[in-house]
Amino acid sequence: MPCPSPPSPSTLDAGMNIDFSDLYKKEPGALCLFSPDGAHIATAVQLRLVVRDAQTLQVEALYDCADSIQQIAWSADSLYLLSASFKKACVEIWSVHDHEWSAKVEEGIAGLVGVRWAPDARTVLCFSEFQVTRSGVGANNFMGCDFGVWIKRIHDNISHQYVHTFPSNFILTQQLRVTIWNLGTKETSYIQYPKFPDKGLDFRSDNRYAVLAERRDSKDFIGVYDCHDWSVVKHFASDTVDLDGLAWSPDGKYIAVWENVLDYKILIYTNDGRCLTSYSAYHDNLGVKSVAWSPSGQFLAVGSYDQK
């Protein structure tokens, strides 16, 4: 049976209005991202960040950043926009409506490998490639120790800048760390040993709690954190060899965890760390490719590399 041909323009909904803007040239490597509310569109080329009206494409804001931009991200309420330079290990935050306000985070020698907004739209999570430890102390990370947090903060009424400075008796170790910057309170929190800089983090549907995949001592762990103050609510070991991802159910009751591509295994945990069930389709083929909860949280769809 032949495939049906696509509908012609004349068969489209008569009530549909389609407007086309003028053409704007896109530079190679340019970033482009709509705001969550659809009102603005941000583009970034090298050091320049441009915010346009999504309907007219008129320029509403123009920002010159400290270095070439590798990532841009909107806050959930579309009021703020961040630009990240991984090469310079800095993140700049801009207000769409108050063009006099800005904030800058510099991770310094700790490096920057990932950045994202928290759902509250006022907190930025920066993933650093290195941890900083005191010489002779071993694995104790100075960010969580009693001898203090060595952070230089510069504030004024318009802009805010946060810079990490490290004393000479500290050394770098190559392990991931999350630094949580609260733009409202100007407070910082830290989470050690996240497993990934770009995945393995999910938020409960009410945005009150976050779940994070962690790796320490060659073992997988799962941490549940209160997004209000980023304190640990629950921390437990994951029955995985090499955890590749996790996802909170839409109803907030369960956490799905799955192994990497070489091992087909899915586990379902409760929020308090109890493993309700695990599932392995086979043991001699590639593993899980994609996972998605149903909106009700009753079903879990799993895509595999065998096209099933």
In a domain? residue 19: no
How many Å is the Cα radius of gyration of the chain?
A: 22
**Residue 254 and residue 207: Cα distance in Å, rounded?**
15
246-274 burial: b if 16+ Cβ within 10 Å, else e: bbbbeeeebbbbbbbeebbbbbbbebeee
**Residue 28: predicted pLDDT:** 64
In a domain? residue 220: yes
Q: Which two tokens stand for residue 168?
A: 């000479």
In a domain? residue 10: no
Evaluate whether 220 touches 240 at the Cβ level (below 8 Å). Answer: yes
In a domain? residue 307: yes
In a domain? residue 59: no
**Residue 307: predicted pLDDT:** 79
Name beta bridge partners: 65: none
**Residue 158: predicted pLDDT:** 36
In a domain? residue 38: no
Strand order in the sheet with 59-64: 31-34, 40-45, 48-53, 59-64
Q: Looking at the 3D structure of the chain, how many domains does it have? A: 1
From first to last of the 308 residues of the chain, give the pLDDT tens digit.
555 555 555 545 556 677 666 676 666 667 999 999 999 999 998 899 999 999 888 999 999 998 999 999 999 999 999 999 999 999 999 999 999 999 999 988 888 999 999 999 999 999 998 755 555 444 444 343 332 333 333 333 333 444 444 455 555 556 899 999 999 998 999 999 999 999 999 999 999 999 999 999 999 999 999 999 999 999 999 999 999 999 999 999 999 999 999 999 999 999 999 999 999 988 888 889 999 999 999 999 999 988 77
Pairing between strand 59-64 and 71-74?
unpaired
In a domain? residue 242: yes
Residue 214 belongs to domain with CATH number: 2.130.10.10
Containing structural domain, residue 307: 199-308
In a domain? residue 192: no
Torsion of CA 58, 60, 65, 67, to 10 degrees: -20
Instruction: Identify residue 190 by its one-letter amino acid code.
Output: Y
C-alpha atoms less than 13 angstroms from C-alpha of 95 in its C-beta half-sphere: 13
